[in-house]
Structure 1
């Protein structure tokens, strides 16, 4: 994944690995104090969860912007350029503003001890403050309780579905992970919950009661029905009904998948509960306009190239949603899956699920630090021994994509497994085309 141009950005990020994780809020608190507490100059909505939090944040920001609110959006990770993380009113932050903010952050004494994500978070808040953002929608990076973004005093929070991921940091059970993610709840700020299984749901509700956060739930306080997933530009259509919208609202998003209907509905529930209810027109426009790269991002066939799908799914739950969408859209076969994962993910369950829906899997690895680099040859051996499945191993993403394009013919090439793999593939010349998520 590339760093955007500019000396200040390079000075801020180049010497720090993006994958390094360090718990605690002391460093980010010190840095933000030195910067004058920029995160207190705007209102905030804070979103955590295992899968779907980036899309939910994108929907919320898009609806706010469609209603005339100057809106910041901070998401992670980026795919190709760090500037993807920082958006104002739907577009990248202007280069001059980003460079100015980066120079301010880099000049702080406290920045020396901060991680990549802590610096990115401080940069986002500084940009939003300097650019006059009214409301920022902020996605957590990892967990919630000790995530660098948890310095916010949000008007409302949301938790998307929870599954086992980052267990070495968040705990080995869904309940433990839920407690960590519920650490973003604040007294008096509504806690809006997506479709979450009973054990982690109960854990989240206990955390919310403990801090005095009122709870609203998708499936109880708001509902989604009449979902239709299509291949036309309207993508996913659905009907949303809630206590504040009892007559229902018909909505459509260009992001394909039943899970995206839930993500959009959770975003709307969050806005309605937190004091930023969009009118029906702003809700429709915002949900229709929302785009996020690498979330079932489709490039149509062209110039002798098959259709391509990019999706950053990196755990069994996300792969299951991806496969459901592939089936609903009846993508052209054969389906050739280029998969590059990280060593700390549940790659066995993920590959076993993907194997059910792909015709051939090509296993590879992206250019990530050695400590998170998985071994595709080991994965190939496991698939053959435990599942009786044949697969192909390629040394790098470029080689895997080249092989996949040849095998796909008039079918479909799927690139998945991690944001790193998708980012590298999207940048390849042979996959050049219209980028629906930029």
Structure 2
């Protein structure tokens, strides 16, 4: 098989959560363990950092990988889902996994796939671990796919665990309370391995404390470690001045990820960096500064308050759940514009009522859907939106919706595309 045929095989033969939803989610680590056992347990052959959370784990993973890379470490990065290219999931020092490796890996693993019947995510995790082991990476930053305790990535014993935050998402799989969701995410906490908690609330703190106590894992809270003194933002950068609450030092950083929701991710990353330093990792101030300033170019991250066009301003953001949309709307309120246009689509297993109830009624709406079976039908979404006084037209795909928005918008208007990672993935270059 060539590369295209190999991807078709993976997409068509294996249950895929991003397309099918809950039916593709395996609540068990058995398949991943079986696959990795056939590969010689590659997950035991490299050091790792494990990151879970409802929101922010993608940005946190990429920025931390960028810092490690600038510090001179050969750094693997496993994230999901991808936007444009499957190989975005598996990178080393920002370089995509090679097509040849994927072709050879799938060909080699076909008998095991037939025997074990893994999901798409399970085989992808095994593939990433195998790639990192063969390349002899110094460290790999591993982002969970969904949850933590039963996530396929949770067969590693990392140097450090990170949980960015807990919010309402995937309740059909993770639980209907914040405590239950936190319990699933806390499943990545390992025996004697330090854990950094990005954001904590009254409901989740006891869950983390209990999980860490049971595992004798030192626990560190980012919000206790650092305070944001001030910040300035453009559409392409975020300048932040932080106070280290422990030693009183003040540091300034510039991020190339400009969303203000990156403030929480930044203090999480710096708390994690401090823990890694205590373990002997050589992470200089310059590596931290350079990594944060160039995370997008170093790692290839997209879709986080990403500027796609000016006059009118077009922003793409992967916000898709209550917490993400709330943060996005806070960001929008800080912007100056004449009229707000929102291109919006969701997937079926999110709660459209909850998210739609948050959206502003004074925006122009363009309802659409991603080209995946899991997408919520745009016509249905448009009808539900009317109950929340959100009025707009329906479009077959995101590019038709975005084209209509740009035709309607004046130069000083703001267009935001959001609601689904898969919607952002289908945006074509704007000319």
Which residue is 1:257 aligned to? 259
Are the counterparts in 1 of residues 31 and 116 from structure 2 also a CA contact under 8 Å?
no
The Cα of 1:383 is off from its aligned counterpart by 3.0
Q: 2:286 aligns with which of 256, 281, 284?
A: 281
Are the counterparts in 1 of residues 236 and 307 from structure 2 also a CA contact under 8 Å?
no
Which residue is 2:159 aligned to? 155
Q: Is 1:328 the equivalent of 2:334? A: yes
The Cα of 1:101 is off from its aligned counterpart by 3.6
Separation in 2, partners of 1:383, 1:112? 43
Which residue is 2:121 aligned to? 117
SS at match of 2:358: helix
Provide the aligned C-alpha RMSD in A: 2.1
The Cα of 1:110 is off from its aligned counterpart by 6.4
The Cα of 1:211 is off from its aligned counterpart by 1.4
The Cα of 1:102 is off from its aligned counterpart by 4.0
SS at match of 1:45: strand
Which residue is 1:267 aligned to? 269
User: For the structure 1 residues 95 and 224, does the alpha-carbon distance in structure 2 shift closer, same or farther, using more than 3 Å as the test?
Assistant: farther
Which residue is 1:33 aligned to? 37
The Cα of 1:41 is off from its aligned counterpart by 1.0
The Cα of 1:111 is off from its aligned counterpart by 6.8
Are the counterparts in 2 of residues 306 and 412 from structure 1 also a CA contact under 8 Å?
yes
Which residue is 1:395 aligned to? 396
Which residue is 2:200 aligned to? 196
Which residue is 2:10 aligned to? 12
Separation in 2, partners of 1:17, 1:412? 38
Q: Deviations over 1:285-331 (max 9, x none)?
A: 11111122111111232xxx73211111011110111122222243x
Q: Deviations over 1:117-144 (max 9, x none)?
A: 1111111111111112110000000000
Separation in 1, partners of 2:394, 2:9? 37
Q: Is 1:65 the equivalent of 2:69? A: yes
SS at match of 1:149: coil
TM-score, normalised relative to structure 1: 0.89
The number of equivalent residue pairs is 416
Q: 1:346 aligns with which of 343, 348, 351?
A: 351
Unaligned runs of 5+ in 2: 18-23
Q: Residues 120-269 of structure 1 correspond to what in structure 2 (within 5 A)?
A: 120-220=124-224, 222-231=225-234, 233-241=236-244, 243=246, 246-269=248-271
User: For the structure 1 residues 195 and 109, does the alpha-carbon distance in structure 2 shift closer, same or farther, using more than 3 Å as the test?
Assistant: closer
